[in-house]
Structure 1
Amino acid sequence: MSKDIKKKRAQLPFRINILFFAIFLMFSVLILQLGVVQILNGEAHQEEIERTNIDTTSVPVPRGRILDTNGNVIVDNNAMYSITYTPPKGVQAKDRLQLAQKLADYIEMGQEDRLKRITDRDKREYYYLLNQKDVDERLNDIDTSEMDNADVYNHTLELITEEEISDFSDDDMEIIAIKKELDKAYSLTPQVIKNEDVSAEEYATVAENLDKLPGINATTDWDRLYPYDNTLSSILGGITSQEQGIPAEDVQAYLSKGYSRNDRVGTSGIEQQYEDFLRGRKEQIQYETRKNGSIVGTETVVEGKRGKDLVLTIDMEFQEKVDEIVLDEMKKVKQQYPGPNQHLTNAFAVVMDPKTGELLAMSGVNYNKEKNEYNDAAFMALASAYEPGSSVKGASVLAGYESGVISPGQVFFDNPVRIASTPVKKSVSNLGYVTDLEALEKSSNVYMFYIALRMMGENRHPYPDNSTLNASWSEYNNALNDLQNYFNQFGLGVSTGIDFPHESTGVRSNGAPNPGNVLDFTIGQYDTYTTLQLAQYVSTIANDGYRVQPHFLKQVHDPIASFDELGPVYYTKNTQVMNRIDMSQSEIERVQNGFKRVYESGTARGYFQDVDYNPAGKTGTAETSIYDDGKKLADTNSLSLVGYAPFDEPEVAFAIIVPHTGQGNGINGKIGRRILDAYFEVKEEQDEENAVDE
């Protein structure tokens, strides 16, 4: 027994030695492995610890400038200081709060509009971040098992009382306003925190403390500058601010083109129409960041280039004169004839080159009765349509030629036409027998009525009083459709093709008309047209039947460093002929002669008979009414005038509409005369200046 015990005791040290030896080997292997890690792979592991990520962000650049046809800048960029925030990856709400607290020591968000935009929720989120533990404890007695994270968070904010967020200090409000801007930022996309009234001191202070403000940058920004103030403002259009960014309804379309959500884009007018030219090429900056999100280095990989410069066809010297003329004549009429002109609120004028389609001026005035002030409304010259009256009679005569119902020299007896069950149709005065040329010169309504009657298949002349028409309803409808289609060839009732985001084509009446409607159509008192459509119509007649596309753009230039000159031409807008009307040259020339007689001895002679630039055109008066909630308030007139000059070699055409004005004030003729006078005066002055320069 004792021998066995001794034997076992002798075996224990041996086993313990084996155990110690095994442990020794294990520690040796571990030390060896640590050595390998430290000596052989240490540098690689250290690099992994210090590993950085490379990301690229795009920085917006200034938009291109907009200039007039003579090189005068009409839309420019105004440089200004800007404080921006580019959030690193993984940044949290508390990080933004801490950053806002630091940044509040360097800038003031004193703009009333920004402080007013602080919402109740903004205040609750701010309070929550400062008192998160306390507010979270309020959820202990509430079952949140069926809520998702967003619902839990929203419910938590609701547990914050009105009293707790009612007494924030001015400093707190500054921090909330800054944080609100920080929260809008997307990863690696610069978000403007402040770019309005950033003082030089704020800019310098932030720039000196960038190391304490992760993601913040002090840089320069830009805003649109308008040297001519509000002149043509509704045509030039507007852009969004970086605060607004891309309109929500257009986000996906712009993102697919490489835009960022907070990029500024054109929202109307020329700015919107030519966004692709004006936007420029963004500067691309490569950011090197550590795993914790801190930025350790930047490199510009693509140099930014501001947008291309646009040169418009508009002559701003002439444009300002046209605006002044339209406004002046409108004020005169309202002052001299206040009663009959109480409903006069608008006046429009369009001036263009009939051969090229270049728009030289577009003017519109809107009177705000409540504020007793006049505002720019040039865009309404292509957006609002009215019955033009007799100014469209040139198209009616040409439609008569082409349809074969009349021929050049055709004579009709101008006496009231009385169709059974239809109001009497007549001219302003009974003119007796008139030819086509005399019908234009003296503005015979009855002559146009006979064109319509014949197109409906009614060939009796003179028309027997109170007789029933020998035509069916389908013939009325077919005649109206044929007339509308003829008018379409001149640009009346269809798109003019203008390079502008939105354009009205007027109101085209559909359905079976009564015979009186068809007759009214030929004297411009049924369908409605815009001032621009009338300008294209008269230009087509002046241009021997060729309808050209009206356009604002003349050229696009690549940007260069110098702001005193334009860069190389990138694109030129050429003349585009849209169609030629289906009438012979001799027929067009006959209407041209009729238009000349209008200005020489006809209805416009009182305004143009003493000028030396040889104009031609047509006057128009449409009887219209003002309604309110279906109740007629007053009978008014819409006055129009179309024309061009010189007659032999037309270089300028124009159209004027003054809706809902009184009778007999001649505002359309006065505006037209002054516009043509101004055009040739400006042209003469510019020709003299060019001769001196040469």
Structure 2
Amino acid sequence: MGNKKRKKKAQLPFRINILFFVVFLMFSVLIMQLGVVQILNGEAFQEEIDRTIQDTTKIPVPRGKIYDTNHNVVVDNKPLYSITYTPAKGTQAEDRLEVAEKLATFISMDSEEYIDGITDRNKQEYVYLQDIEKAEDRVTAEEQKELSNSDFYKLVLERIPEEDLKGFSKQELEVIAIKKELDKAYSLTPQIVKNEDVTAEEYAQVAEHLSELPGINATTDWDREYPYKDTFRDLVGSITSQEQGIPAESEDYYMTRGYSRNDRVGKSGLEEYYEESLRGRKEQIQYTTTKSGRVIDSKTIVEGERGKDLVLTVDMEFQEEVDKIVREELKAAKSKHPYANRYMKDAMAVVLNPQTGEILAVSGQSYDEENDKYISNPLKTLYDAHRPGSIVKGATVLAGYESGVISPGQTFNDQTIKIADTPSKSSYSNLGPVNDYAALRKSSNVYMFYIALKMGGENRYPFPNDSKAAFDTAAWQQIRNYFQQFGLGVKTGIDYPYESTGYVGDSSYDPGLLMDFAIGQYDTYTTMQMAQYVSTIANDGYRVSPHFLKEIREPGESDEKLGSVSKSVNTNVLNRIQMDQTLIERVQEGFRQAYQESGGTAVSYFGDKDYNPAGKTGTAENEVYEDGNKTDVNNLSLVGYAPFDEPEVAFAVIAPNTGIVSNQYNINKYIGERILDAYFDLKEERSEDNEEEEN
């Protein structure tokens, strides 16, 4: 019995040893696992703990400048103090309110512009953040269950009592105005809070307290500046404000090209057309942030560079003179015959180099009847189309040659033509026998009428009075095809966002309308199209694109020095009219005679000029309607170029809706004469100045 008890006691320590051994193995495995974590994976886990996020933000740079052909600054950048806000990722509304409250102690936002811009929604959000729990308690738990987060928030704001949105102090309104600007910011994208009227004191105060204002920076911004004020400004165009940012309808286009939503872009004119060159290269800053969104480091990875500069073909000194001429002559025309010219509101002129297409000046002057003043409106040279009148007769004669319905030197007797059931058609007087030269010199309508009739299939000459005329409607497209070779009725190819091509009349079975077309009294054209037309004649039939741009230049090392040439604009020949050179020369001679020979319709204005001009006058019948009543008016036009043998300048002028009176004020001829005089006077003056400098 005693032996059995001793044996049982001997077995107990063995079981305990097994238990200790198992525990030992478990601890060994645990220690081994900890070792693996620490030694093999410790670095990876530590990296996860210390993990940061790197994001790149792009800082806008000033746009390129715009110069005239003589390197005078037309559009500059004016530096501005600027307060910006760049929120970190994860920034909440409460954080922005806190920043706004601190920033309000350093800057003023109490002007009407800011305060009037505060909406009820802005006020509701401010009240909500003052006591979130109180605001949310106005929505029951049952209601909240049925709502999405955004709908719940919207309902919370709506239930803020009306009286809580009144009685804000001036300081509170400033805070709300600042927060409104902060709320526009995108993560890691600078948003301008205030820049147009930041004072030096505000700038310094903010700069001194940046450590207390997370995301806020005191920096410099820019705005467009126009040394020539309104001269040429409408054609230069404009840019969006940062508040507008990129146009919503073009968001995809801009965002895929590296823009931010609040970037300013060209929205009209040359600013829009040459946006890609003017925009510049943004400075790129890489921010390192923690997972919570706190910025712990930043570095510049791409240096910013302001936009490239544009050098235009326009001569601003000459442009100012052309504006002055057109405005003065418009005033003179209205003062000479104030009642007859009551419907006359505009006068337009385009001046260019016919051989290269370089635009030297573009002027549109308008009378603002409501405010009784004259304003610059050069866009009308591209957008407004008018019946041109007899200036198109050069194209009509060339169409007659090329179609084979007339031959060089052919004569027609200029006397009234009467087609059955159609009003009589004639020139301003019966001119008797005229050949092609005389038809252009004296501006014979009848000569052009016979060309139109013959192109329509009516070959009787002289045409028997009160007879029906044969007419093939295919003549409409045939003659328009000839006109289009000169740029009439088609796009000119100008480097501008938009241009009108004019009105195309109904191609009806009516020979009388085609006769009207042949003398410029049916389809309509812009002043720019008319300038391209006369340039094509002056340039021996080569139609070139008119263009504003001369060069694109890299940013200069300083504001006083232009950079190197990045791109030069060469002459772009669109087409050569399909007509023999000798025939073009006959029209050129007819144009010279109109300006310089006895009987020429413009000889009294240009006959004694030593710069050897050529061109064509025009008058088109037009009508205006007021209160259902029709009034007959005229469009007065003029095209020309000089010198005749080696053209370097061409122009087109039109003044629509002048009164029909005896001894009418010939605004078209006065403008044309003064433009050519000004061009050659300025050329001579500069030549003399250069000689003096060389000596």
Normalising by structure 2, we get a TM-score of 0.94
What corresponds to 1:336 in structure 2? 336
What residue in structure 2 maps to residue 312 of structure 1? 312
- Structure 2 Cα separation of the partners of residues 659 and 505 of structure 1: 17
Q: Which residue, out of 548, 554, 558, partners 2:554?
A: 558
Bigger mean CA offset, 365-374 vs 520-529: 365-374
Offset at 1:429?
0.9
Measured in 2, the distance between the counterparts of 1:42 and 1:10 equals: 47
Q: Could you tell me how far apart the structure 2 residues matched to 1:334 and 1:597 are?
A: 30
Which residue type is aligned with residue 574 of structure 2?
M
Deviation (angstroms), 1:52: 2.4
Aligned partner of 2:616 in structure 1 is 618
Which of 471, 495, 499 is residue 499 of structure 1 equivalent to? 495
Check the 8 A contact 2:110/2:170 in 1, yes or no: no
**1:436-473 CA distance string (max 9 Å, x none):** 111111111111111111111111222111111133xx
Corresponding residue number in structure 2 for 1:422? 422
Aligned to 1:522: 518
Give the direction of change, closer, same or farther, for the CA distance of 1:447–1:43 in structure 2 (3 Å limit).
Answer: closer
Distance 1:548 1:238 in 2: 27
Cα distance, 1:387 vs. partner?
Answer: 0.2
CA distance 1:508–1:40, change in 2 (3 Å):
closer
Q: Which residue in 1 is equivalent to 2:413?
A: 413
Distance of 2:657 and 2:338 partners within structure 1 = 13
Query: 1:134-166, CA deviations, whole angstroms, 9 ceiling, x for partnerless residues?
Result: 111111175344432222222221111221112
Which piece of structure 1 moves more, 115-124 or 640-649?
A: 115-124
The Cα shift of 1:16 comes to 11
Determine the C-alpha separation between the residues in 1 that align with 2:200 and 2:42. Answer: 49
Pick one of 576, 580, 594 that aligns with 2:576: 580
Number of the residue aligned with 1:147: 147
CA RMSD of aligned residues (A): 2.6
| Structure 1 residues 70-95: Cα deviation after superposition (integer angstroms, max 9, x where no partner) | 11111111111111111111111111
Aligned to 1:433: 433
Counterpart for residue 648 of structure 1: 645
Distance in 2 (CA, whole Å) between partners of 1:513 and 1:230 is: 48
Q: How far does residue 42 in structure 1 lie from its aligned partner after superposition? A: 7.7
1:294–1:639 CA distance, 2 compared to 1 (3 A): same
How many residues align? The count is: 686
Once residues 659 and 439 of structure 1 are traced to their aligned partners in structure 2, the CA distance between those partners, rounded to angstroms, is 24
Give, in angstroms, the shift of residue 582 of structure 1.
Answer: 1.4
User: Which residues of 2 match residues 14-25 of structure 1 at below 5 A?
Assistant: none
Q: Does 1:348 align with 2:326?
A: no
Of 126-135 and 613-622, the range deviating more from structure 2: 126-135
Residue in 1 that maps onto 2:160: 160
Task: Supply the distance in 2 between the matched residues of 1:220 and 1:513 (Cα, whole angstroms).
Answer: 67
How far is the alpha carbon of 1:209 from its aligned partner?
A: 1.4
CA distance in 2, matches of 1:243, 1:634: 47
Partner amino acid for 1:217?
N
Q: Name the counterpart of 1:634.
A: 631
Q: What's the CA shift string for 1:389-432, capped at 9, x where partnerless?
A: 11111111111111111111111111111111111111111111
Contact 2:550–2:568 (CA<8 Å) still a contact in 1?
Answer: yes
| Counterpart selection for 1:481 from 477, 480, 485 | 477
TM-superposed CA distance for 1:15, in Å, is: 10
> Residues 393 and 288 from structure 1, CA distance in 2 versus in 1: closer, same or farther, beyond 3 angstroms?
same
Q: Deviations over 1:105-160 (max 9, x none)?
A: 11112342232221111111111121221111111175344432222222221111
Corresponding position of 2:70: 70
In structure 2, the partner of 1:283 is 283
Q: Could you tell me which residue of structure 1 aligns to residue 670 of structure 2?
A: 670
Q: d(CA) in 2 for partners of 1:146 and 1:429?
A: 87
Give the match for residue 399 of structure 1. Answer: 399
- Equivalent residue for 1:358? 358
Aligned equivalent of 1:128? 128
| 3-state DSSP of counterpart to 2:143 | coil
Q: Could you tell me which residue of structure 2 aligns to residue 93 of structure 1?
A: 93
| Identity rate, percent | 62
Shift of 1:658: 0.6
Task: Between 247-256 and 560-569, report the one with greater CA deviation.
Answer: 560-569
- The alpha carbon displacement at 1:21 in A equals 11
Return the letter of the residue paired with 1:640: S
Separation (CA, whole Å) in 2 of partners of 1:20 and 1:211 = 61
Counterpart contact for 1:233–1:376, Cα < 8 Å = no
For structure 2, list consecutive stretches of 5 or more residues without a partner in the other structure.
Answer: 1-6
- More divergent stretch after superposition (510-519 vs 294-303): 510-519
Structure 1 length-normalised TM: 0.94
Write the mapping of 1:77-476 to structure 2, written as runs, cut at 5 A: 77-140=77-140, 143-471=143-471, 475=472
Unmatched tracts of structure 1, length 5 or more: 1-6
1:674 alignment partner, SS class = helix
Q: CA separation in 1, counterparts of 2:524 and 2:259?
A: 40
Residues of 2 paired with 1:208 and 1:422: CA distance? 85
Q: In the TM superposition, what is the alpha-carbon distance from 1:47 to its structure 2 partner? A: 5.5
Which one of 543, 547, 550 corresponds to residue 547 of structure 1? 543
2:606 is aligned with what amino acid? F
* Secondary structure of the corresponding residue to residue 296 of structure 1: strand
Aligned CA distance change for structure 1 residues 283 and 527 (closer, same or farther; 3 Å): same
CA distance in 2, matches of 1:107, 1:35: 58
- 1:251 and 1:374 map into 2 onto residues whose CA distance is 38
What is the CA deviation profile of residues 236-283 of structure 1, one whole-angstrom value per residue up to 9, with x for unaligned ones?
011111121101111100111111111111111111111111111111
Query: Could you tell me how far apart the structure 2 residues matched to 1:398 and 1:185 are?
Result: 63
2 CA distance for matches of 1:242 and 1:366? 32
2:666, 2:409 → 1: CA distance?
Answer: 30
Residue in 2 that maps onto 1:605: 603
Aligned-partner SS, 1:143? helix
The superposition leaves residues 572-609 of structure 1 with CA deviations (integer Å, 9 ceiling, x where unpaired) of 10001111111111111111111111111311112112
Output the amino acid matched with 1:324. Answer: K
Contact 2:476 2:507 survives alignment (8 Å): no
Q: 1:127, 1:368 → 2: CA distance?
A: 48
> What SS does structure 2 have at the residue aligned with 1:460?
coil
The answer to whether the 8 A contact 2:336-2:665 is kept is no
Q: Deviations over 1:196-229 (max 9, x none)?
A: 1111111111111111111111111111111111
- Give the conservation status (yes or no) of the 8 Å contact 1:83–1:219: yes
Distance 1:396 1:462 in 2: 19
Contact 1:210–1:217 (CA under 8 A) maintained in structure 2: yes
AA in 1 matched with 2:530: L
Q: Any conservation in 2 of the 1:62–1:307 contact (CA below 8 Å)?
A: yes
